[in-house]
Structure 1
Amino acid sequence: MPAPGVCLNIVSERNLKDGQGSPNNPEKFLDQDFHQLKQFCLKERLRFVDNLFPPEIKSIGLGSLAREDLQRVVWRRPHELVPNPVYIVHGASRFDIIQGVLGNCWFLASVGALTSQKRIMKQVISDEQSFSVDYAGIFHFKFWRYGSWVDVVIDDKLPTFDGRLIFVHSKTPNEFWPALLEKAYAKVCGSYADMDIGSISEALMDFTGGPHMTIKLSDASGKLWETMRRAGQSESLMGCGTPGGAGLLKNKVLANGLVEMHAYAITGVAEVVCKGHPVKLVRIFNPWGDGEWNRDWSDRSPLWELVRPEDQKYNVVLDNGEFWMSMEDFCRNFSDLDICCSDVNFLAGSYSSSWKTEVHRGQWVLGTTAGGCSNDIDSFSRNPQFHVTLKEPVEDPRDESSPNLLVSLIQKSHKRNRHLATNFHIGFNIYELKNQREKYPASFFKTNPIGKTKTFLNAREVMEFFRFKAGEYLIVPSTFLPNEAASFLLTVYSKTETIIEDSSGYGMTRTKMIPRDNDESFQLFLQYADEYGEVDAERLQRLLNENLHAGHSQKKTGFSLDLCKSLVALMDLSVTGRLSEFECLRLWKRAVFQRDIFYDMDVSHTGSLSLNELRNALKVTGFVLSDSMLNLMALRYGDSNGEITLENFIVLVLRMDCMAKTFKRLAAGGPDMMLGENEVMFFIQIFN
């Protein structure tokens, strides 16, 4: 039943408008309130145990450990492992981290990058937690997830073998922030095993909430060094990865000290002078905590003896997994560079512009809005459409040739567990247009887009910069293939005031339609009315099934008794459980009117409406629905193929009409309304 999820979506959207979802006011992940839970545990003298991510095998997941090893796991709190556990010892540092048996170097490399930016790190890792003051066995961390910051609550029970942590741990035996952070992220992913194998860009985004860019180092331009230098100055997080060779073992250590198919953090860049010539260097961190590059500019490279005295400070020989290498060697030995930031000016190459952000959530739903790319404009037109109004910008003169618009598209799988999620190939097109607010038909998309993603990528995010003049535009996000279902987050960053609207409609728009009269309807009523001149649900069922389909040979399922009870509840103004003459005739006339629309719109002559036909039929009845509302109708009233029968179509239209009129009455004083508990229960009973 869709209603609870829909209600949660409405609540979530309202909360976002009220400021929830920011780093200072994060949403509660899985609806767990850290402060309430902690106060309860302190009051009751309890140690918190998280029943939503319990210390059980299912939280570890399958694949990370052998089945026999899963039986050996013992969950222990830190004070059961060491006598004096400490949350953070002398500040959180990348050098604290030692990777465990889990293949999550992508996550730990991101943690290494995170610790190099202290302000951002404090958003994720609260340092106001302790194993001594007000200890209750409960901790929390904040991550950015698909448009909102969320506060993730965990207990401090950690998986161990023989009293030793299985997964990430600190080089300092009594320090536990790395293990607790990893557990919180495992909860977000679904299990520890769901963290196995990934892209460093994923965690970088979850640590910053900012736009992300990937640079293929084989195609890097001469501006790469300047890009990395500016990234370091703008509090960006950077990571990189080594390529994998055909037939080579995963994570094989190469002769040069680098690890095959491995994620690294970039923790700095510097320019030194060697024998009178400038040399550009990149500092890189291996999340294993050891294993370093052993060629030019490594810790013990003789080249360090040839630099200026003031550059000697960069050479620190600690064998801690961090090392320097030249820019040229970096591009030769690594495949890609990921940069994630909270400052769009950096990515755009701007100077002092103030960027504004608009975020919209949407869905590609099977049979309705999952239209695929513009190779087929008929199906492409079914995709969600967003109308963008760009105002004239006020810019720094130095920015007049730089981009003024950044469009980011992030896909979100409907799967709870990360390893079950599928990344589809996604992208978007942008069209210039004239004023129009309704959804654009297929014929419109015969025109060429003025902007689009360079290619469709099977990545979590695709983004592109543009420079557009002030005007009206349409953004159409899509998967490459039709009928690929997922949620998405469309974010538009601009240097000017921007108005973005869903072109498919604002929830539901009602245009009044008058059904035609029928003089024979009274005689029909008399045939089925009881001796009191009323029609109950059973009599209504016979009336509709024996008369409504007359003259139509297409398949029909008939009105069930439950549907007829719903119709009686909708039309029974006196709340007697029966329809009077006036109520029954009113229902019959509307049913006939909607039947004729149904068969007119059934262009495939199947006796049911596809979702595209449903949209057209509802428009004729007077309803213009947003994509999200149409998706909901398809889930609630469609069959397994997403098609709508005549019977369900009539019930749907009557319910929508009743709901629209009720809302109009309740919201007479303004655009919003408040419902009491009894009113909410009434709506559930009548309209569900």
Structure 2
Amino acid sequence: MAYNQEPLAETPVIKFNGQDYNSLLDRCLSTGLPFEDETFPAEISSIGLQLVQGKNLSSLRWMRPKDILEGKSEPHFILEGASRFDIQQGKAGDCWFLAALGSLTQNLQQLQKILMDQSFSHQYAGIFRFRFWQCGQWVEVVVDDRLPVLNKECLFVHPRKNNQEFWPCLLEKAYAKFHGSYVNLHYGFLPDALVDLTGGVVTSINPNSIPSDLVMMVKTAVKTGSLMACGTLADPTGEARRMENGLVTQHAYTVTGAERIQYGRGWEDLIRLWNPWGHTEWIGRWSDRSPEWQKIRSQHKRLLYKDKEDGEFWMSCQDFQDNFFCLYICNQCPISLNHRNMPHERWSQMMFKNRATPGNTAEGPLRDMQYIFSVPESMEHDNVITSFNVMPQNLKAKGEFPLTFEVFKVDPQFQPFWKRLPSTFFSQFRNAIEGVVFKTKRNLTKYFSLNPGTYVVVISAYREEVEFLLRILLKMPDGDRNLDSNLNLTPLKASLPESDSQESIFHKYSQQGLYIDATQLQNLLNQEFLKGTSGDTFSLDECRSIVALMDLNTNGRLEEEEFARLWGRLVNCQSVFQIIQKRSGVFLGLDLWKAMTDTDFLAGTSISNELLDLMILRYSDNSGRVSFPSLVCFLLRLEAMAKTFQNLSKDGIGLYLTKMEWMNLVMYN
């Protein structure tokens, strides 16, 4: 079940093919020999016969950048910053990757994660490295800088004229190695590239179904650092073909901006696109040389207009909607392209990596994998997103996504079955919840509009074992906060007052400085740990329970030494709660296992999955949320009961209690 797996944290970078960049670099520098990658050799096998059919292979060479330039100038990795205009597509049909890359150049922080600091001067040894995201982890791919050259021209991405920047060529080579060969980049899916370059979540939009302002939508997406790309419809021939209006069929473009300008007595909505070919532009209204530019204010023309053969052009939003079938937007968390509420959205995310194994169909749902989640409050449409990403080696069937899944609402009578829903659930509730889905070769995303309640994701593999990453994203309430604020459903203080020591706080609330009872503890906890009195506060019953758990002298109150022990645990609980809540915006019952493993005073304590199921039911509310007071009670009680067993057990396996000992234990502690 989902809650029995730890949500993915920051993981070490995986070395593709086990190749360590630093070790290889040191070896090349010590020997003085430039790197030659044996795992992606300078051979036809690394290209693929389909891409060189009909060509004179006798003139095919693998050359390093300095040899390609023939000494006329020095090669550069990046010169005066990386730009989409450094990219020019070659003979591979990988516009889907290059359009995503062109958008990435507008987010320099994200781009730097891919490119890192490299050059052809400092410690040059013919070796370069790049990083791509795959199933929740960053993978570092090492390549040498030998590029395939045919008739003195780069076969694939090549530097533009008068441009000696080779980062796009080398990055494309690394991506080809990542996928097995250049031919495997020949036609693909934009969302796959967007995810590989960012690890983000893709939103798919039909331009013709956008109900509100497209210009504002694009501007909003740019503001959030989103990647944007779009595609034209396929040609009946199955090939990319230049149409009379200058656009190319079955081709990917980068969306680079949008503006609303005054035109005549009205307004015109424009959108700006870039073609990875580096040329071949739109020639309709608002293209580089169209007469519309002569009829607008000079300041608008000065800011927007340029007549260059660089692949970038403006067109009206209406023409965009008429000619493009899909707009993809990728960000670290989903965004709604509605400028009125988008900046205030908060999302909770759960990530689970696993393997799905196909079984006998007669086994039905008993063989399927199940992940349970809760929708806490009623939100607007598309408030839940499920996103799957599968490993490339699981893609043997062309064009067929190797997983299938359904989402069901869990009736209250089945909610005690947190570990696994019984077969009777599926015999009674056969209707899966409908949603809007789009899938590619390696990614599948589905949007749902769900009412509050408990739901289950049921996953099946078609024919072979599939390694996958599942992300469940829940739109959270409190939409009036800005993006930089945390969603504090429990209004926990950021930190405890540094000026107040534990001793001074004890004396501030204690009875004549001698002890603290449950009522005084309630006042202390709600004043010192929580913001104000609204939200989830410590109840008197919870405080009575805490006193009983920490009461070593069994006198119904906490003396200063006992309070000091409690205080250290409360500070630890606060830190654990804040870290988990900050990650997703809300603390759910599914997070109790993570909280337990991260709590210092519970080191070495473990519980069964069955008991964890019961604890989720015991300490979470009907929306699946856990408050800070509930977390404190759970962690303190778990420690007390584990230590009680340890003290009473003679063999560490079992214990014997008299009836009175049992009653004293369970009724007070």
User: For the superposition of Structure 1 and Structure 2, which TM-score range results when normalised by the shorter chain?
Assistant: 0.5 to 0.7
Cα distance change, pair 45–113 in 1 and its aligned pair in 2 (3 A): same
1:382 is matched with: 367
| Displacement after TM superposition at 1:70 (Å) | 4.2
Moved more, 295-304 or 488-497: 488-497
1:236 is matched with: 226
Structure 2: 5+ residue stretches without partners: 477-585, 594-608, 611-650, 654-669
- 2:350 corresponds, among 348, 358, 363, to 358
Q: 1-side partners of 2:81 and 2:273: how far apart?
A: 20
State the AA in 1 paired with 2:416: N
State the AA in 2 paired with 1:50: D
Cα distance change, pair 431–72 in 1 and its aligned pair in 2 (3 A): farther
Indicate yes or no: 2:200 matched with 1:210: yes
Q: TM-score, normalised by structure 2?
A: 0.65
Cα distance change, pair 477–456 in 1 and its aligned pair in 2 (3 A): farther
Cα distance change, pair 136–460 in 1 and its aligned pair in 2 (3 A): same
Cα distance change, pair 173–232 in 1 and its aligned pair in 2 (3 A): closer
Matched ranges for 1:292-371 at <5 A: 292-312=281-301, 313-346=303-336, 350-367=342-359
| 1:93 and 1:112 in contact (8 A); partners too | yes
Matched ranges for 1:462-501 at <5 A: 462-466=444-448, 472-478=454-460, 482-483=462-463, 485-494=465-474, 495=476, 496-498=586-588, 500=590
1:656 is matched with: none
Q: 2-side partners of 1:146 and 1:31: how far apart?
A: 17
2:14 is matched with: 27
2:344 alignment partner, SS class? coil
- 1:104 corresponds, among 94, 109, 117, to 94
Indicate yes or no: 2:129 matched with 1:176: no
How far does the alpha carbon of each residue in 1:469-527 deviate from its partner, in whole angstroms, 9 at most, with x for none? Answer: 66543211346xx54653322102233334559x9xxxxxxxxxxxxxxxxxxxxxxxx
| Displacement after TM superposition at 1:287 (Å) | 0.8
State the AA in 2 paired with 1:51: E
How far does the alpha carbon of each residue in 1:629-681 deviate from its partner, in whole angstroms, 9 at most, with x for none? Answer: xxxxxxxxxxxxxxxxxxxxxxxxxxxxxxxxxxxxxxx999xxxxxxxxxxx
Indicate yes or no: 2:397 matched with 1:408: no
Q: 1-side partners of 2:408 and 2:216: how far apart?
A: 30
1:281 is matched with: 270
Matched ranges for 1:245-644 at <5 A: 245-246=235-236, 248=237, 250-312=239-301, 313-346=303-336, 350-367=342-359, 379-389=364-374, 392=376, 401=380, 404-415=383-394, 422-424=400-402, 426-433=404-411, 434-445=415-426, 446-447=428-429, 451-454=433-436, 457=439, 459-466=441-448, 472-478=454-460, 482-483=462-463, 485-494=465-474, 495=476, 496-498=586-588, 500=590
| Displacement after TM superposition at 1:122 (Å) | 1.4
| Displacement after TM superposition at 1:385 (Å) | 0.5
| 1:345 and 1:355 in contact (8 A); partners too | no
State the AA in 1 paired with 2:211: S
Q: 1-side partners of 2:464 and 2:173: how far apart?
A: 31
State the AA in 2 paired with 1:262: H
| Displacement after TM superposition at 1:402 (Å) | 6.2
| 1:427 and 1:453 in contact (8 A); partners too | no
| 2:371 and 2:457 in contact (8 A); partners too | yes
1:58 is matched with: 45
Indicate yes or no: 2:114 matched with 1:124: yes
Cα distance change, pair 183–226 in 1 and its aligned pair in 2 (3 A): same
Q: 2-side partners of 1:67 and 1:279: how far apart?
A: 47
Q: 2-side partners of 1:440 and 1:263: how far apart?
A: 43
Matched ranges for 1:638-677 at <5 A: none
Indicate yes or no: 2:66 matched with 1:79: yes
1:198 is matched with: 188
State the AA in 2 paired with 1:409: F
| Displacement after TM superposition at 1:324 (Å) | 0.5
| 2:407 and 2:455 in contact (8 A); partners too | no
| Displacement after TM superposition at 1:338 (Å) | 1.3
2:418 alignment partner, SS class? coil
Q: TM-score, normalised by structure 1?
A: 0.63
| Displacement after TM superposition at 1:292 (Å) | 0.8
| Displacement after TM superposition at 1:134 (Å) | 0.7
Q: 2-side partners of 1:140 and 1:265: how far apart?
A: 25
State the AA in 1 paired with 2:35: F
| 1:428 and 1:453 in contact (8 A); partners too | no
2:141 is matched with: 152
| Displacement after TM superposition at 1:236 (Å) | 0.9
| Displacement after TM superposition at 1:461 (Å) | 2.6
How far does the alpha carbon of each residue in 1:388-430 deviate from its partner, in whole angstroms, 9 at most, with x for none? Answer: 256x57xxxxx9546553321234453588x967434744313
| 2:271 and 2:317 in contact (8 A); partners too | yes
State the AA in 1 paired with 2:443: E
| 2:15 and 2:140 in contact (8 A); partners too | yes
| 1:189 and 1:416 in contact (8 A); partners too | no
Higher relative contact order (CA 8 A, sep 6+): 2
| 1:362 and 1:384 in contact (8 A); partners too | no
Q: 2-side partners of 1:363 and 1:452: how far apart?
A: 25
Q: CA RMSD in A?
A: 3.3
Moved more, 51-60 or 460-469: 460-469
Indicate yes or no: 2:148 matched with 1:163: no
How far does the alpha carbon of each residue in 1:97-138 deviate from its partner, in whole angstroms, 9 at most, with x for none? Answer: 221111111111122111122222112122x21111111111
| Displacement after TM superposition at 1:194 (Å) | 0.8
| Displacement after TM superposition at 1:224 (Å) | 4.1
State the AA in 2 paired with 1:438: K
1:74 alignment partner, SS class? strand
Q: 1-side partners of 2:223 and 2:319: how far apart?
A: 23
1:351 alignment partner, SS class? helix
How far does the alpha carbon of each residue in 1:74-98 deviate from its partner, in whole angstroms, 9 at most, with x for none? Answer: 2111122222111112211111222
Q: 1-side partners of 2:425 and 2:77: how far apart?
A: 59
Cα distance change, pair 89–438 in 1 and its aligned pair in 2 (3 A): same
Q: 2-side partners of 1:412 and 1:51: how far apart?
A: 23
Structure 1: 5+ residue stretches without partners: 1-12, 394-398, 504-622, 625-667, 671-688
State the AA in 2 paired with 1:124: I
State the AA in 2 paired with 1:463: T
| 2:394 and 2:466 in contact (8 A); partners too | no
Q: 1-side partners of 2:460 and 2:24: how far apart?
A: 41
Q: 2-side partners of 1:105 and 1:431: how far apart?
A: 40
